Structure 1
Amino acid sequence: MTALRVVVADDQASVREGLVLMLDLLPDIDVVGSAANGEEALDQVAEHRPDAILLDLHMPVMDGIEATRRLTAEHPEVAIVVLTTYADDRSVLETLRAGARSYLTKDADRLHIAQTLHSAVAGLSVLHPQVQATLLAAASAAAAREEEAVAAERPRELPDGLTRREAEILTLIARGLTNSEIAGALFLSHNTVKTHINRVFTKTGSRDRVAAAQYAQRHGLG
């Protein structure tokens, strides 16, 4: 098997040097460059044309998310594997949207990292279990928000056969508007408003406006 040519980018010198040493000991990995920030990572990739880059997220000068965007745009042939301490939903989602192929946390061992690099170069995605859980939680939250939005837009079922117009007028009665004020607010004639109000009283069993207002409050129309 031809050794994968890899660039390692991490702002912590001890971590970066440890990764370089650890991966270089593997026969199927050839570390061709290292970088301490996103800009250096771009330079190293441009110079060495590696198969993959192992990239930290939180780095100075240019962070890993922006570096991922730039690498995806300028070097789409290079597989990006994120290796970071952070697995929060914002970092995970932004990095994957930016073009990262895989996302590992720094407790991964060297064989797992090497396997992930090979998989990423082959076009496959590998996600740490914690990252998978984060993505599932984010997806569930998004689905719940979408469901709430759909429910909010869905027309309410009105009680006692009230029409939309009658419910609208009942709400205005509960707010204390007079017939004239209701007619002006809804651009209706005075007689039309009176007809609607009579129907509202009949359907809701209300003898007067006070009873109608109480009905509206009980049914969430006030």
Structure 2
Amino acid sequence: MADQPIRLAIVTRQEVVARGLTAMLSDYPDRVIVTVIPSVRSKAAGVDVVLYDSIGLHNDDGGDLEHLIRNTEAKVLFYSRDMRPDLRARALAMGVHAWVSMSCHAVDLVEAVELTAAGESLPDQEERLGQDVGLSPREVEILALITQGLSNQEIADRLFLTVNTLKSHIRSTYKKIGAVSRPQAVAWGMQHGFAPPDSTDAAGSWLVGS
């Protein structure tokens, strides 16, 4: 346990998640203090850890998560939906410190926040999605976006790649999974945990504090 309570900001697009997490963590005021980020694009001043809900990565291009990782001092802990391991793999490829399952108990979440704040690894963090065929983190990220139905240009724009570089990654990915066409790649992805987008959509983010 840390000497001082960890200052945590929760970033989610769903009010029920925001309120649920805040209630869970309120049982541990000596270990975690939920604080406020004025906006996702802020510097996250005074925050040790950001708990980022995976729905944000599902609903947009990941710009908010990229900003939190690259342009703030806080460590980012990815709050992962168990049915979307592809989003978890994308987040790890982007550089989040670790992930924690949405199904975890409150005490496990608090421990994950404390370990993240200390820069320590969380147990059971090996990301196996695509590893059985040797996919790199970048290839996992690209295959996830292909499975979600994005075009090459859309993927290149999101990942800040040239189309030619993207095509090179796609050829390598297809070779590893045994696909010769985009429909085959999508089918492989869906059979191996890469889910297409659902109809869930919401505008804005809840940036939660006490």
Q: TM range, normalised to the smaller chain?
A: 0.5 to 0.7
CA RMSD between the two structures: 3.0
- Say whether residues 1:101 and 2:90 are aligned partners: no
Counting aligned pairs with the same residue, the percent is: 14
Unaligned runs of 5+ in 2: 136-171, 177-210
* Residues 28-73 of structure 1, C-alpha deviations (whole Å, 9 max, x = no match): 10101268xxxx3333xx2543000111022389748432211121
Count of residues paired in the alignment: 136
Partners of 2:89 and 2:58 in 1: how far apart? 21
Aligned to 2:184: none
Alpha carbons 1:56, 1:64 under 8 Å: kept = no
Aligned to 1:115: 111
Alpha carbons 2:80, 2:88 under 8 Å: kept = no
Aligned to 1:79: 75
- Say whether residues 1:7 and 2:3 are aligned partners: no
Query: 1:1-222, aligned counterparts within 5 Å?
Result: 1-26=3-28, 27-33=30-36, 40-43=39-42, 46=43, 48-59=45-56, 63=60, 65-75=62-72, 77-86=73-82, 88-126=84-122, 132=126, 135-142=127-134
Partners of 1:142 and 1:85 in 2: how far apart? 24
More helix, by proportion: 1
Unaligned runs of 5+ in 1: 150-222
TM-score of the aligned structures, taking structure 2 as reference length: 0.55
Which gives a bigger RCO, structure 1 or 2 (Cα 8 Å, sep 6+)? 2
Alpha-carbon spacing, 1:87–1:67, altered in 2? closer, same or farther (3 Å): farther
Partners of 2:58 and 2:111 in 1: how far apart? 30
TM-score of the aligned structures, taking structure 1 as reference length: 0.52
Q: Which amino acid aligns with 1:33?
A: V
Alpha carbons 2:89, 2:129 under 8 Å: kept = no
